[in-house]
Structure 1
Amino acid sequence: MPPSLAPIRNWIFDLDNTLYPASADLFAQIDVKMTAYVADLLGTDLVEARRIQKAYFLGHGTTLAGLMKEHKVDPLHYLDFVHDIEMEVLEENLPLAAAIARLPGRKIVFTNGDGPYARRVLDRLGLGASFEAIHDIHAMDLAPKPAPSAYAGLCAAFGLDPAQSLFVDDMARNLAPAKAIGMTTVWVDNGSEQAEGTDRSFVDYTTHDLTHWLQGIL
C-alpha cells in the first residue's frame, strides 16, 4: 500500500459505472426508462421529456430529486419503474472481487440508486459478499450525492472518520463534497462524466480502470 493510503480504513464505492465499466452501458436502459417516466407523467413527447430529465439531473443531482421537488413524485414508484431492467450486459469480475477483499478495513457501497437494485448489480458482478453495507438513496433521506447531507449521513451511519476514508466515483462532481470533509478521492474517468468545467482540484487519484488501480496499490 502506498504511504499516502496507509491511513485508509474505510473504502467507499459508488455503484453504477464505477464497479462495472461504463462500456457495459447498463445505465442506458435506466436512462430510457427515466425518459419514458417523465413523458408519461407530464404528457410530453420523448424529446421534451429527455430535455426535462437532464435538466432535473443537472439541477438537482438526480432526475428523481427534481421530480420530487417539482411534481411530488412517489420515489418508490419511480425507482421500481426505472430499475426494472435486464442485467445480462454485466459480467462477473473475480479480479475486482479479489482486490476488494484484500483492502484493509471496511467496504461500503454509496449509491444514488436503491438497495434492491444495488444488490442485483453486485450479485451479477460477483460482489455480493464484498461489502459490509449499501448506503442508498433511502438512507440519504432522498437527498442524493452531491448534496453534503448525503456524505454527513454516511459518516454518521457507520461512524466513519473522513480522514481515514477513501471514496471512489465515476462522477467527478460527487467527489468534491467528499474531499471537502477530508476524504481521499478517486475518480474513475471512464467517459460517463458530464462536462461541468475543468476544476479537478478535489480529485486525489484518477484511473480509467478501477480493478487495475486497486491491483496497483495492493
Structure 2
Amino acid sequence: MVFDPTRVDCWIFDLDYTLYPPACGLFGQIDQRMGRFIEDLLGCDPIEAKRVQKLYFHDHGTTLAGLMHYHAIDPREFLDFVHDVDMSVLAQAPRLADQIMALPGRRLIFTNGDQTYAERVLAALGLAHCFEGLWDVIAMDYKPKPEPSAYHGLIEAFGFDPQRAVFVEDSARNLAPAKALGMQTVWLDCASEWGDRAKDDAAIDLVIDDLPQWLELVCAELAGGAALR
C-alpha cells in the first residue's frame, strides 16, 4: 500500500471516531438514544431495539436509513433526538487543529451525521475553522455512505478532482466507493466494534491508528517530497 500526499489538494475527513476517539463516549450517548427512539417507535424492549438498530445499520449504511425504509419515519425528528447529547465529553484539540490547517489545499468533512450535529462536534473540538465545508446526510438526500450517490454528490458540490483527493475514515466499508472514484484512501483503525466490517484491503491505500501522529508525518513528508508507505 502506498499513499502519496504530494498528489493531494483536497483532504476529506469523516467526523465520528475519526476526529475524536471512541473512548470519549460521545457516540455511546448517540447509540443509547437510537435504542430509546426504536423502543418508543416499535414498542419493544431494549434487546429487540438493539437488534433492529444494528441490523438496519449493517444493511442500510445507517440506522436512520433502515428506519426510513421500513417505517417511513421523519428523519429530522430522529436526528434531533439522537444528537441531543452532551458535547462536554469532547476535549479541545489544538494540536490536531494546527496539523489540519497545515495541510495544503482544501479540507472537507464527509459525515453520515447532520450539519447541526457536525458543527457542534467541530466547535467542541476547536476545529470549526479548519474546514471549508461539509457534506452531511441531509445533503446526501438521506442516502448515506457507502451509497455511491453520496460520493458523487460530494464531488459535484465542491468541484474537486477525486484523483487529487484523499478520504480518511474509520469505517473501512466506506472507503471502497471513494477508491472506485480515484481517491486515495486512509483507514483509521481505532479498534471500534464495527470499524473493520466489510473491509476491502484492495480499497485501502494506508492503515493508521493515530490521526495526529499520521498528520505530523504527512507534513514532514510533504516538506521532503516523499511518499508514505
Q: TM-score, normalised by structure 1?
A: 0.97
Alignment of 1:179-190 (within 5 A): 179-190=179-190
Structure-1 residue corresponding to 2:225? none
- The whole-number CA distance in structure 2 between the counterparts of 1:204 and 1:24 is 27
- The whole-number CA distance in structure 2 between the counterparts of 1:99 and 1:108 is 14
Identity %: 53
- The whole-number CA distance in structure 2 between the counterparts of 1:106 and 1:71 is 39
Residue ranges of structure 2 left out of the alignment (5+ in a row): 220-229
- The whole-number CA distance in structure 2 between the counterparts of 1:14 and 1:75 is 21
Structure 2 letter corresponding to 1:214: L
Task: Look up the SS of the partner of 1:129 in the other structure.
Answer: helix
Deviations 1:142-166 (A, max 9, x none): 1000000000000000111110000
RCO higher in structure (CA 8 A, sep ≥6): 2
Task: Look up the SS of the partner of 1:77 in the other structure.
Answer: helix
Aligned length in residues: 217
Structure 1 residues 193 and 200: alpha-carbon distance in aligned structure 2, compared to 1, 3 A threshold: farther
Q: Any conservation in 2 of the 1:172–1:193 contact (CA below 8 Å)? A: no
Structure 1 letter corresponding to 2:211: L
Structure-1 residue corresponding to 2:218? 217
Q: Any conservation in 1 of the 2:9–2:164 contact (CA below 8 Å)? A: yes
Quote the RMSD (CA, aligned, Å). 1.3
Structure-2 residue corresponding to 1:125? 125
Structure-1 residue corresponding to 2:13? 13
- The whole-number CA distance in structure 2 between the counterparts of 1:204 and 1:100 is 20
Structure 1 residues 23 and 152: alpha-carbon distance in aligned structure 2, compared to 1, 3 A threshold: same
1:25 positional shift: 2.1
1:88 positional shift: 1.5
1:199 positional shift: 3.3
Alignment of 1:93-104 (within 5 A): 93-104=93-104
- The whole-number CA distance in structure 2 between the counterparts of 1:176 and 1:193 is 19
Q: Any conservation in 2 of the 1:15–1:109 contact (CA below 8 Å)? A: yes
Q: Any conservation in 2 of the 1:171–1:193 contact (CA below 8 Å)? A: no
Alignment of 1:171-210 (within 5 A): 171-192=171-192, 194=194, 195-197=196-198, 199-210=200-211
Structure-1 residue corresponding to 2:158? 158
- The whole-number CA distance in structure 2 between the counterparts of 1:118 and 1:85 is 12
